[in-house]
Structure 1
């Protein structure tokens, strides 16, 4: 399991006061961080892969009209000014010549699989992708054989070697870094989907690192560090070797979340989220052309029916462009349904949900009643410069308490007193970057 960052500590003090001083029997357990912000039932993150132009010209405006955020995993090599796709290693002509007399095996497989996508044609890129699919499916001999077939075509000029980079480089996708930065400023998350969208599992170390690190470097350069938190390895890979490398570079991967308190159900799984015994479940669903609006709405209903589901919706094509495109009318209906459920479901970016869950699990709370004040301290080893999502705290009040004011730098706020089976309580959000809060007696 990948360990969470431990770059610092945070300390916060909250003071609650009211007109009665009779505490519950065990006051130290009367404050908790709610499972979801504002006590909601679950969460939904709407994510897009590949940085396809229609995602920004069609889908994004619909989401903006409803004030819904999204996460866009973009192929950075397509953006002007970024590091482009390239092969890193020995002379390509030497490698290609060797394939005429030396069959592909474990000693040369990763080098050859890394190179073939950059031999100049779309068909060569397809060989790379198909070889990767065989490899990840455990069909190693088939992967070797297919790679040999591809290089035979390269040598015979059946696939013309122009040295042009055609690897996921469609010229229709012309979004600029300036546009991406404006989208982030509007509340959306822009994140990495590597430089060229390769099958990472079949790249050698140098080329895998380039795909992951160069993409992060360009995001940091043009967007800032916030955009380097999340990433998605192409094709939803969960290859162990890839995960080991990727988690050293990005704190959060949609491919896999390693926390032991989180169950993951990937896009291809038929497992039902209600069967898990984990505190949280990340339930990924791929919305494709044949899914249908009724099925998509049913996913939201499932989130509402439980208290531990994080639905991560994955979209690729939109309207008439991209893989398995969704129609505009489908998006309008689905996003409208999500908006209608926003009172019960937290709609947030992939990065923000990840941060909240980790903050909650990494934070310890202690509370003490002193006269008319409840002193609450909470501590975490997470870096509050990175993990900056406000936490929702819920504090039960002693019998007879009438209310409390939250005192913050920006002013006072009278908190509403609510009730459940545990008694009367107040609920409030606090920033992990602040050090102290007070709740004082309400009139």
Structure 2
């Protein structure tokens, strides 16, 4: 094997008249390097965006939501009974509804969340997701930052909430109005909340006579938000035939996560085509080497090398080329990711292109998440394709008849 590896490396890095083969080999390795690095960088950046979205959703949304289509006045569920399930950290009830807020001469449709943290679940008391709602008074309201900016609302301003209702099939009413003082303006980190979410105390909503069209919601926070499926199974078993539905944060945002998966798949497939083209270059390079080294093949056969040995020599030549490209591609990808912020700053300095202008995006730097499983998958797939690209043309070398080759060169 050592002799075969030596011969393969000599064929690969030849300095004689087959110098063009070395150029093709170098171009193939560079193409594989760029392709592998591109796949790793793109996947890691998309993983970073996905992780960032997860964090922001979990900062605001409950891990598990229980919903009821019954009016708030009828509560078929005693939530305290759920606290015995291991892993559940807090339970809170809320009133969720759509409504309209009025400020000066402006109106906007909003999502209203009336919070009521259970007193005997002190770990969750006063929190909405990971946001601490300190000193939320009965006549006070918390609104999203984008909504406040759009309507020119500041802390201390007074605004009016109306919850529309259908009084009968033929008439529509804006419902009763309730005044609130803005106590806090929060940047939740997700546009759908910053643009339309307002938070009030649920007892204020119930006391205003606006409860006829509201629904029961219960928010559950668990120890591990990525293991909600096991809790959902237990909750569905407990809440069977109660008219309550159970969902988790991933179900509530399933369309978004499916879109991310589709984007990652499409981008990875397109970039892998670059690697595939480079692998075809390896096939071309091996075929050229076989034609160029026909005399050497005949000499090796006369020295006692078998057909299998000749195949292995050219196979090793192709695999050395491919493995160099894969290794340096992974190395380049990791280095680029570790210096991603410096690369962003360099592009901004040289070309004046800012990836995330302040005020337009919630993040200032491009996030990335380098996963070992991605490195393994990329390496394995690239290796398998390299194996085929190197093996198929190598079989051609073993079919050459040394006697015919020797006769050709004599003539």
Compute the TM-score of the two structures, normalised by the length of structure 1: 0.24
Rg (Cα) greater in structure: 2
